[in-house]
């Protein structure tokens, strides 16, 4: 097994190794800077946003540990599966869809926007949404309730006041 890993690492170009090293250093740097910024930030908003600092710190810690783990990983040079190539146009369309969701969550309402976002997104990625519509509706409602509960009850982040929730 070790011989196979050593052989695989020999066939990797220097540019690929440099790219992977750059990504690891970039993510580690982002997590360190973000963690320092979140530790030194003064969170406004009074008692309703008291625990808002926990969420970004947790994300920065996960990113930092992930980049360190990737640095020592044996599979860091493996190419992604070729059968899952995603066209760039689809990526741009999905990121635009996420932008529409964020705008609607801030101006229309978090609960309604999240319900519609998850319903449409799960339906698009589902193989046969007409056949599994009950499961899709259930998953959408449960995910929205869980996300709302985490933001409001666990983290204590106040969502913007909007016409629909």
**Which residues, in sequence order, are CB contacts of 106 under 8 Å at separation 6+?**
160, 162
pLDDT per residue as tens digits for the range 79-108:
655 666 677 788 889 999 999 998 988 888
Q: What is the mean pLDDT of residues 30-47?
A: 73
How far apart CA 165 and CA 155 sit, in angstroms, is: 18
**pTM, rounded to two decimals:** 0.54
How far apart CA 46 and CA 93 sit, in angstroms, is: 38
pLDDT band at 50 (very low <50, low <70, confident <90, very high): very low
Instruction: Decide: 53 and 43 in contact? Cβ < 8 Å.
Output: yes
Instruction: Decide: 23 and 15 in contact? Cβ < 8 Å.
Output: no
Tell me what pLDDT residue 47 has: 44
- Number of neighbouring beta carbons within 10 Å of residue 144: 20
**Residue in the structure block whose two tokens are 């983290």:** 155
């Amino acid at each position: 097994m070790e011989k196979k890993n050593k052989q695989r690492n020999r066939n990797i170009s220097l540019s690929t190794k440099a790219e992977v090293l750059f990504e690891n250093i970039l993510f580690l740097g982002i997590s360190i800077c973000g963690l320092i910024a979140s530790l030194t930030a003064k969170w406004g908003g009074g008692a309703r946003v008291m625990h808002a600092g926990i969420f970004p710190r947790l994300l920065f810690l996960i990113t930092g540990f992930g980049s360190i783990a990737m640095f020592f990983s044996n599979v860091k040079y493996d190419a992604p599966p070729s059968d899952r190539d995603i066209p760039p146009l689809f990526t741009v369309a999905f990121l635009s869809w996420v932008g529409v969701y964020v705008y609607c969550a801030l101006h229309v309402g978090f609960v309604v926007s999240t319900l519609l976002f998850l319903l449409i997104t799960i339906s698009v990625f589902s193989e046969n949404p007409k056949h599994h519509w009950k499961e899709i509706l259930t998953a959408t409602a449960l995910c929205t309730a869980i996300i709302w509960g985490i933001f409001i009850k666990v983290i204590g982040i106040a969502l913007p006041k909007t016409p629909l929730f």
